[in-house]
């Protein structure tokens, strides 16, 4: 017992200071893409095909980027004219509206909270049933790591639960394969009203690299209504935590 206590003292305090302190992100972290239309030229009409998931589009001399499809691979940063697209360190990517994830039209990503009624219901305590609807386990891993001592999701009153009957909503990852479609529908139906649905990752938002394949439904919104979108492939745990807290009006 003395050895355990000594080891615990040596470990010190491991929980990060976010959101009271700015997050410490890795050097290779790619955050919110920034589009500089001044650097866009007619060659972009063909160069946008570099995107493996067709997240880029060129129209009327402007480039747009669908953050809900983006894999953050960085191909566009290399293929388009220098400075046309750069990846910032901004980890705040969550949105309430799917169309707000389309960048390059003069708008910024919508980081709005839930309405006052939903905040009152879930702002202090939120229980989520996680559904992996055919994911590769990357988004699932970054969601699960939130429960560790480093992020300590429980300190915000947010917890993952084992049964939909005990949940306030669903956190969905994966492109929603045909084999998972019915399971997702039944899980959603089992969650008591009122409820939230949070789509995490490019697959859950749009189908990701599997978009338009016969085996998938191109994301959660084709099966259940989605309230919060958190882009990424996979989104960093800080991005997921920021999206959850922002939706609940905690930031």
pLDDT grade, residue 106 (50/70/90)? low
Domain boundaries defined on the chain: 116-247
pLDDT tens digit sequence for 228-243: 999 999 999 999 999 9
**Which one is the CATH code of 116-247: 3.40.50.12280, 1.25.40.20, 3.40.600.10, 2.160.10.10?**
3.40.50.12280
Cα 220 from Cα 139, distance rounded (Å): 14
In this predicted model, what pLDDT tens digit does every residue of 34-90 receive, in sequence order? 999 999 999 999 999 999 999 999 988 999 999 999 999 999 999 999 999 999 999
Q: Return left, alpha or beta for 198; rule: phi > 0 is left, psi -120 to 50 is alpha, else beta.
A: beta
pLDDT averaged over every residue in the chain: 90
Instruction: Say if residues 128 and 171 touch (Cβ distance below 8 Å).
Output: yes
Maximal C-alpha separation, the chain: 70
pLDDT at 112: 63
Residue 107 has pLDDT above 70, yes or no: no
Provide the total of helices (H) and of strands (E) in the chain, helices listed first: 8, 10
For the cut 60, the answer to whether the pLDDT of residue 105 exceeds it is yes
- Is the pLDDT at 251 greater than 80? The verdict is no
What's the whole-model pTM score?
0.91
* 217 within 8 A of 174, measured Cβ to Cβ: no
Please say if the pLDDT value at position 111 is more than 80. Answer: no
Per-residue model confidence as pLDDT tens digits over 5-25: 887 777 776 788 899 999 989
In angstroms, rounded to a whole number, what is the distance separating the alpha carbons of residues 170 and 215?
A: 22
Strands (E), the chain: 33-35, 56-59, 62-66, 85-87, 102-103, 126-132, 158-160, 169-173, 196-200, 228-230
């Amino acid at each position: 017992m003395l050895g355990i206590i000594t080891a615990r003292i040596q470990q010190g305090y491991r929980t990060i200071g976010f959101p009271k302190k700015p997050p410490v992100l890795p050097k290779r972290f790619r955050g919110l893409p920034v589009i500089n239309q001044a650097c866009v030229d007619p060659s972009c009409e063909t160069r946008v095909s570099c995107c493996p998931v067709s997240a880029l589009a060129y129209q009327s001399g402007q480039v747009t980027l669908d953050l809900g499809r983006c894999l953050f691979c960085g191909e566009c940063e290399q293929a388009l004219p220098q400075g046309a697209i750069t990846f910032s360190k901004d980890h705040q990517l969550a949105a309430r509206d799917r169309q707000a994830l389309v960048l390059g039209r003069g708008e910024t990503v919508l980081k709005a909270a839930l309405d006052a009624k939903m905040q009152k219901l879930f702002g202090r305590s939120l229980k989520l049933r996680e559904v992996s609807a055919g994911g590769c386990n990357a988004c699932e891993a970054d969601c699960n790591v939130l429960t560790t001592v480093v992020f300590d999701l429980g300190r915000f009153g947010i917890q993952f639960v084992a049964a939909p009957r005990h949940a306030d909503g669903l956190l969905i990852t994966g492109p929603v394969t045909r084999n998972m479609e019915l399971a997702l529908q039944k899980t959603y139906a089992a969650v008591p009203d009122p409820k939230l649905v949070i789509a995490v990752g490019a697959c859950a938002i749009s189908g990701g690299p599997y978009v338009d394949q016969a085996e998938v439904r191109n994301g959660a919104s084709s099966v259940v209504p989605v309230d919060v979108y958190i882009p990424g492939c996979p989104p960093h745990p800080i991005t997921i935590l920021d999206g959850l807290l922002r939706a609940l009006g905690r930031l």
